A and B are shown apart, each in its own frame.
Chain A
Amino acid sequence: MNALEILLVEDNAADAKLTIIALQEANVSNKIVLLRDGNEALEYIFGSIEDRVPKVIFLDLKMPKVNGNEVLAKLKQDGRTRKIPVVMFTSSQEPRDIKECFDLGANSYLVKPVDYDDFSKVVKSMGQYWTLHNITVD
């Protein structure tokens, strides 16, 4: 069993905090690692890959330095990380962004609701789905 449960890649501090609170409320995990941009995410995962395979990655799309879709592409191209479920978690509802993420191999695409009650609901259900059942993807 890995020590790490959920990797959250999010540059917006408020969104990160809200996501962590919702995940903790749902008891899905107390092992959440927060990374602030795509570059940090890549360094973290590929820096020491053996110890750092999370059950699920929540990945923001629009971030400074390295965008979410670039991180997604690298994760899905590498045999060691390909099976980690990746949930895109973003404000963008652009059909172009959604298509691109699925084309790159995203396992889910969630639009962050403005309403916190809805936001908390989707985070909880997504977190539970991907962590409780120990799902890996092909």
Chain B
Amino acid sequence: MEYLNHYRKFFEISNNLLCVANTDSYFLKVNPYFSELLGYSQQELTNRRFTDFIHPEDVGITLIEVEKLSKGIKVINFINRYRCKDGIYKSLEWTATPDVDQSEIFAVARDVTEELLQKREIEELNQSLKNSLDEMESFSYSVSHDLRAPVRAIHGFSRIISEKHGSSLNSEAQDLLKIIYEESSRMGKLIDDLLSFSRLGKKALQLTMVPMKELAQEAVNEVLRLNQIEPRPNIKIANLPDAYCDRSLVQQVLVNLISNAFKFSHDKPHIEVEIGYTENDSLIDYFVRDNGVGFDMLYYDKLFGIFQRLHSQEKFGGIGIGLANVQKIINRLGGEVWAVSQINEGATFYFSLPSSANNGRLYNKSYKK
């Protein structure tokens, strides 16, 4: 008998709803918290069918659950709305278990009204954030797209004037024309890079297991083919493990990082580049290390920004989009990008990728949350 008293105490102090009901939809016994939360007296609650308190839209689904209970099936985390005495609805999350012989239902519920509101608010905020991001992307896409034709006209006609009418211009006019031609060419490259940057976010991913060592070798070959570098750089490629990713996108990442490594080492007597890895649990950290000019960690937050440069264009060329592309690609594949460096002591750029499809999914899932 002592425990019955103990149990009654729990029943009385609980700030969850606890009740016994029957399969004819009447409460037989409700704990005091029912009155506290919903505002009705115990008698008001037990005198009417409980379906009278439920939001009309939720009565149907509730009766389906009661039906299940009468067949001996438990109900877990079922949500419906109850009308309080003041007319406001509360969302209740029920867990119930039947006693089929006695046609009784034992049920516990908690008030999830606030929780659901907050959840909806977060979803709405996320949606509006996503909408404005999409808008921004399509804005930058269409602006850069529409800029192509006028830039082509400036570039083309300055070229045609200098070819066809160059002889009738004095040397100052020819020089100025050359500036228009060169600058419009640079603007054209900026626009094309901006377009390909915004397209990166839209490209459908083709995920497979990719042999990273082979890919790194291909990337090195491509960079060497496009750039005449003397003396030949010394390149070490470790036995890189395979990664679960999109081959052509990661190829772009490697080409970018390797050409950066060469570019920022070109004033060293001998270029040393190492491509290696360290393994984490589900992700592999790959790196590209050089012995070049490095960068000042003070400006680290600008490193991966679009059109950001940490070195002068005269000295090192490029328009500052490569690392922004690298970051966008790796983030889409569920990995991260980071770097360490000291001025004149070389730089190491890291990127992580999932080591298997499984890890890829797991990681992406938690990443999205």
Q: Which residues of A contact B (CB under 8 A)?
A: 12, 14-15, 18, 21, 91-93, 112-117, 119-120
What would 11 more interface pairs be, CB under 8 Å, given A18-B153, A115-B188? A14-B152, A14-B153, A91-B145, A91-B148, A91-B149, A92-B145, A93-B195, A112-B152, A115-B152, A116-B152, A120-B156
The reply to whether B195 and A15 contact each other, CB–CB distance below 8 Å, is: no
The reply to whether A14 and B149 contact each other, CB–CB distance below 8 Å, is: yes
B369 to nearest A CB, angstroms? 30
- Is B151 an interface residue, CB under 8 A from the partner? yes
Main secondary structure of the interface of B (DSSP, over half): helix
Q: How far is the CA of A15 from the CA of B156 in the complex (A)?
A: 9
- Contact check: which of B153, B155, B159 meets A15 at CB < 8 Å? B153
Interface size on B, residues (CB 8 A): 19
The reply to whether A18 and B152 contact each other, CB–CB distance below 8 Å, is: yes
The reply to whether B149 and A12 contact each other, CB–CB distance below 8 Å, is: yes
With most chain B CB atoms within 10 A of its CB, the pick from A21, A112, A115 is: A115
Q: How far is the CA of A93 from the CA of B157 in the complex (A)?
A: 24
Given A93-B195, A115-B185, A115-B188, A15-B152 contact (CB < 8 Å): yes
Q: Which residues of B contact A (CB under 8 A)?
A: 145, 148-153, 155-157, 159-160, 185, 188-189, 191-192, 195, 199
The reply to whether B152 and A113 contact each other, CB–CB distance below 8 Å, is: yes
The reply to whether A115 and B155 contact each other, CB–CB distance below 8 Å, is: yes
| Set of chain A residues within 8 Å of B159, measured between Cβ atoms | 116-117
| Set of chain B residues within 8 Å of A14, measured between Cβ atoms | 149-150, 152-153, 156-157
Q: How far is the CA of A113 from the CA of B159 in the complex (A)?
A: 15
A117: nearest residue on chain B (CB-CB)?
A: B159
The reply to whether A114 and B153 contact each other, CB–CB distance below 8 Å, is: no
7 A-B pairs closest in CB distance: A114-B188, A116-B156, A14-B153, A18-B156, A116-B155, A114-B148, A116-B159
The reply to whether A112 and B150 contact each other, CB–CB distance below 8 Å, is: no
Q: How far is the CA of A76 from the CA of B85 in the complex (A)?
A: 72
| Set of chain B residues within 8 Å of A15, measured between Cβ atoms | 149, 152-153
A9 to nearest B CB, angstroms? 15
B161 to nearest A CB, angstroms? 11
Q: How far is the CA of A82 from the CA of B291 in the complex (A)?
A: 60
| Set of chain A residues within 8 Å of B148, measured between Cβ atoms | 91, 112, 114
The reply to whether B192 and A114 contact each other, CB–CB distance below 8 Å, is: yes
B186 to nearest A CB, angstroms? 10
Q: How far is the CA of A78 from the CA of B231 in the complex (A)?
A: 62
| Set of chain A residues within 8 Å of B199, measured between Cβ atoms | 93
A92: nearest residue on chain B (CB-CB)?
A: B145
The reply to whether A119 and B195 contact each other, CB–CB distance below 8 Å, is: no
Q: How far is the CA of A119 from the CA of B188 in the complex (A)?
A: 12
A115: nearest residue on chain B (CB-CB)?
A: B188
Given A91-B145, A91-B149, A114-B155 contact (CB < 8 Å): yes
The reply to whether B152 and A119 contact each other, CB–CB distance below 8 Å, is: yes
A114 to nearest B CB, angstroms? 3
